[in-house]
Chains A and B, each alone.
Chain A
């Protein structure tokens, strides 16, 4: 430990300040962090910064060319703005396939074609006799029941055709897939192959034989099976090239029947093609009722016959119109960002392409439209059309033999027929999925209509993973439970139709059940789609239960969350029985105040946080009651983060109630102030200015009842003092309240005199409150502390003109002008802006009940990372408010959990360098004003703080971030958030439970140069720590009101006092980091510049010593003495000072 200076080392340190942390390299995570910090240090501040554009006059006013005019006109007509046009063009460039790669893919496809047609044929065998298959390959299909009639032989495909988006040029990077249809020769198939999965068995065997031969070919890097669109009866073969092109392309082989082999009339949605006798080994209920229809099974067969006709249709419609292709590509990006296209039954790119074709054929889209306009039109169509009620069809013929749309609606939840009029393209799409698409489209349309500047970014570039998009998420795990659920729900026909896929079969009824049960609490219910698996050719296909877990996302309606009651029909109504049946034993007869006797369900929830979790009770109750899924299999992720903002002793509440009690007490106090008699000027307004009064204090105050034996009483000033022989008393922070007086011309006009008069007001206020209301008061020159019902308020009298008086500057000519001074800005902030902000955020909390939780979690996290002191309370509150006021592309969060995740996302991705964070409180800023603010921001960027937050009251200065954070601290926060977000999301999405949720709240300590460990005895807020200690010290509080009504010890927090001294003494040399909520350690980081020797100057001697370096006298920090000072200044509080001297050299 200590300085070990040599000349060479020092020279190195001068050259590059980053050499300070050489010890970090090579130790995994720490190394990475150090390097990222290094990057921040090394980066010049001007790089990557937008500069205001300067164009010469000649440049601006030259005659326009025809071409330029055309371009401008096109931009105006076809796009929103030139920025959007450029953005769209850039995005398309990024996702489109380059010509060079296309050539390579084409070459690969030719190779594939040659090899496929050369696969040798096999003689005919019974379908059930699969002994001919070589050992290394398994049939990619669950053959249940195994026995089936029919024969199979392999013959090379009659035709190999490329189908799908690759030919159309609408496929997007990454994950380029090329679909190849292999037409099986007619000799393989027999009559009645459409029955009882015979066609699918043959298809699977066909692929198995192909796979065996292709796997031996050195051309392919990997050969494996997957399912076509996730359908469990239809495997496909995936081929990837060997070598460096492995990630370039995936060729998917789909066998299909020869044209006109199946008679379409046999595959209508009303027909049965899987006989019960075969599938279940019994005929359907002996009374001779007809076989149940198998619409999904029929559709899957039909899909194989229609591959080529769909391709033809698409290429004739989209073929020559670049705008339409662009539009399809944009829509695919849009879907993918919302995770809507993935998995079985997703809203695929193919569906969107067909939708574009539909809109072209109905003249809603014209072929000359731009990609942006196509995107807009399709979203508009989706937002306004409910395909679950009114299906659409591409079929133009009015052939009476075609089935009616109503037939399809009966069989499928979403209906979109292709041009044949017999195939439902949306057969696998569930109603929930479609509603989600519709909901997203509606959100996107509002976003596009709002003309927001960053619409493109929000629409197409922001991912919306489930955990961040939905308020609550629940996992069903293990999936095998759903099999029992299917039997309980009597879904045998569906199972027969789905070929035994119980997950798909149960999905629809399950979501309907929950939607009905959650009723008004729910805005949207979405489910994850089972992922499409891939498996090696030598393995059996994965079982249904292996597809992980089923995840449901709940988007809650905040107004529905406060009720603990499900009101049913009156007892004598016929619906009552239904209600009882639906809710089971939870339904009770209740008499209501209006005299009605009704069926009702009452949930137990006392606090706001418990009410938020009522959906959990509903879901577990309904699933157990109706589907036999026990509570242990439902992993509800709604409130694991609540534990971090729960009060010290009540675990049932997240503090909203305690905050409301404090606010209520404040309301009482302001009434007392208004009615106060005897003040020379009456009170005109009382405004709160403390986080408690805007519901964002992390740990709400509790009424203080001091135990007199714990303190030293100071009777003559009726106050209590802390005692040396006791642990530090409880921390009581007075809540600031600003008190405005009626206007008067009698105030003095001199800053010093105003201060004195204000002090006299403070004294008078204390006197009157004691006299008239018997409150314990304590006046100082700047404020009056009032003890009311155990809460302490700090009343500050404000004089409206005082900031102006502080600002006045008289020029030599006698002209009085107003210039901002630090004192005036400070006063203005405290007495004008802070109350305004507090009341605005108080209002926000009334609108969005989750705001309090989100803001407090966010602050808790930032402080737990030891960065809390660099960010003002208000700046973090405003960032949290931005999540509610500008939630796009999401909706305002209704649970603290999702709000916190979005906070982390915002912090980790926001470009503070080039953008102000505009928080449009009360919607006061118009779009034009926001544009003006943005351009003003660019022009003044270098004078503004690193982090700029603009509100309607504070359009230019960003007052809450003026004093920090510095660029390095902000960068550190960004890095930490970027690491915490994926970690936390992974924990919450883990179906087996989130594990230790506090992991992301524990700060990394290995980045600090010195650690100062503090003694818990003198940390008053020790119990608020992230890992709350099992035992801590008594803080001198009684549980019942005691006789003492002396003023408790206010704002006495030894760690804070210690930090203040440290920063004052060593602020030039080092940075100090601490978690004010019960942190036991102070992290110290030497400033990169502080170890550079400096010339001897009177102003820079602080804590340094003179040394002779190469004949010159220079000053270097006296590290050894400073380390001992750390202990001296914090005597009693400091346990140890841990210097990691390996991390630095003087």
Chain B
């Protein structure tokens, strides 16, 4: 039988949307006069989710580490060999190794999560530990286990780069947004109590990611289990698609109903919104369409123009030809100069 209403005929027919038209952008402005610039924003939906997203990003970027309160810089001059654990610096560094077999270790740089006044962050203040330089083999579970000695860990989130907002959990579909291969990451560790953060800041280490009791897979073991995980499960995928599309259909149906309601109803200033669902098709309000119109205009004008009709036109076109030749000559000379510099005229 049909697997789901997405691929069945009626499923698609249910979401009847025009192909040629733009995305719900009526030609109202074009029809009602371009001068209505003040009105147009009112016709548009007030929130632009993309704009909001952009804002968050720019905030995150403007927040740099150097502006945060740091400890006093020390003047200790040591090589790492002499002092393998430079945690004596003001900045707490916790050595971390994959297992006992390794000689050298990486260093986790940790500090309590805090932001400037006025910046919003979804991570709870005081209880969140911000960790830099988490090695690629360190997973969320192992980090949680390693830090649990400092206090109960509520959640651990690994991210590619510092980001103040907690990433939205629901968009992480296993099928449509697969996890990228991890490199060195940053982590936000939320403890249940603020004391966990201070305990972690004082942690000496070295931490071991993989121990006998809690082995972490790497290399061949990891790749084989990754491969097994990646073998797709069609049923789960089908269920996910169905749920998503149901929600989507509902959203579209609501929008449609709203648009139908508004159709033909003048707003307080008397403007009528024309949508592409109207009876007469309108020009889609896209850049391509407006360029097409301009081009047609230009061609119409060019057809009327007379070429080389007056003496001055003739003279000018001759001069233009000469200028082209001169330009070409200059270009050629430059090319030759370059080839000569590269000794490209030695035939053998």
Contact = CB atoms under 8 A, between A and B. Distances in A.
Given A781-B176, A1108-B77, A1133 B252 contact: no
A1118 B107 contact: yes
Interface stretch (B196-204, B301-309, B319-327): B319-327
Interface residues of A, number: 118
B296 interface: no
A810 B6 contact: no
A1120 B314 CA distance: 77
Contacts of B161: 1098-1099
A1061 B135 CA distance: 11
Contact of B18 (A83, A745, A1058): A745
Interface in B287-306: 287-288, 290
Nearest to B130: A1098
A860 B98 CA distance: 37
Contacts of B102: 1121, 1124, 1128
A719 interface: yes
A375 B249 CA distance: 74
Nearest to B323: A60
B19 A817 contact: no
Given A463-B348, A755-B176, A760-B7, A722 B224 contact: yes
A366 interface: no
Interface in B322-344: 322-323, 325-336, 338-342, 344
A53 interface: yes
Contact of A714 (B6, B136, B228, B333): B228
A511 interface: no
Contact of A1104 (B9, B77, B133, B233): B133
B241 A1107 contact: no
Interface in B1-18: 3-4, 6-9, 11-13, 15-18
Given A461-B347, A1131-B220, A813 B40 contact: yes
A337 B104 contact: no
Given A759-B175, A780-B175, A1106 B326 contact: no
A817 B109 contact: no
A1120 B219 contact: no
A811 to B, nearest CB: 8
Contacts of B123: none
Contacts of A1104: 133
B345 interface: yes
Given A749-B23, A1120-B103, A814 B339 contact: no
A109 B284 CA distance: 86
Contact of B219 (A95, A760, A1064, A1132): A1132
A716 B31 CA distance: 59
B323 A61 contact: yes
A1133 B12 contact: no
A90 B337 CA distance: 10
A763 B220 contact: no
Interface in A711-732: 712, 714, 717, 719, 721-724
A766 B7 CA distance: 13
Given A1101-B184, A1131-B218, A1108 B345 contact: no
B232 A778 contact: yes
B310 interface: no
Given A745-B16, A760-B241, A1107-B86, A1061 B40 contact: no
B271 interface: no
A955 interface: no
A1118 B327 CA distance: 56
B104 A1120 contact: yes
A1018 interface: yes
A813 to B, nearest CB: 6
A748 interface: yes
Contact of A1132 (B76, B106, B221, B328): B221
A90 B219 contact: no
B347 A60 contact: no
A82 interface: yes
B277 interface: no
A1105 interface: yes
B268 to A, nearest CB: 20
Contacts of A808: 23
A1134 B218 CA distance: 12
Contacts of A333: 347
Nearest to B87: A1106
Contact of A1060 (B64, B181, B186, B227): B181
B347 A1061 contact: no
Contacts of A1130: 219
Given A1106-B107, A1129-B136, A48 B77 contact: no
Given A64-B322, A756-B245, A761-B7, A1131 B232 contact: no
A725 to B, nearest CB: 11
B347 A337 contact: yes
A460 B65 CA distance: 61
Interface string A485-519: 00000000000000000000000000000000000
A801 B162 CA distance: 35
Tell which of A48, A743, A745 has the most Cβ of chain B within 10 Å: A745
Contact of B287 (A744, A746, A749, A815): A815
A1097 B64 contact: yes
Interface string B257-298: 000000000000000000000000000111110100000000
Contacts of A72: 322, 325
A31 interface: no
A680 B176 contact: no
A906 to B, nearest CB: 16
A349 B12 CA distance: 78
B284 to A, nearest CB: 7
B33 interface: no
Contacts of B137: 1125, 1128-1129
A43 interface: no
A337 B331 CA distance: 28
Contacts of A336: 347-348
B118 to A, nearest CB: 20
Contacts of A815: 25, 285-287, 290
A759 B182 CA distance: 26
A679 B18 CA distance: 21
Interface string A82-98: 11001100110111000
A71 B228 CA distance: 76
A55 interface: yes
Nearest to B61: A1099
B26 to A, nearest CB: 9
A808 B75 CA distance: 55
Interface stretch (A218-226, A399-407, A687-695, A1049-1057): A1049-1057
B74 to A, nearest CB: 7
A55 B330 contact: yes
B333 to A, nearest CB: 7
Interface string A776-814: 001111000000000000000000010000001010111
B132 A1101 contact: yes
B335 A50 contact: yes
Contacts of B25: 810, 814-816
Per CB-CB distance, the 4 closest pairs between chain A and chain B, nearest first, are A1131-B219, A1132-B220, A1120-B104, A817-B287
Given A86-B333, A95-B347, A1061-B182, 15 more contacts: A82-B328, A86-B336, A174-B348, A461-B347, A719-B231, A722-B224, A724-B220, A753-B248, A1065-B182, A1105-B80, A1105-B93, A1106-B107, A1108-B78, A1118-B80, A1123-B104
27 contacts: A48-B341, A50-B335, A87-B336, A680-B12, A721-B224, A723-B224, A724-B221, A746-B15, A746-B16, A748-B15, A749-B17, A753-B245, A756-B6, A767-B3, A780-B232, A781-B237, A817-B287, A1067-B183, A1096-B91, A1107-B86, A1118-B80, A1118-B107, A1120-B103, A1128-B98, A1128-B218, A1132-B219, A1132-B221
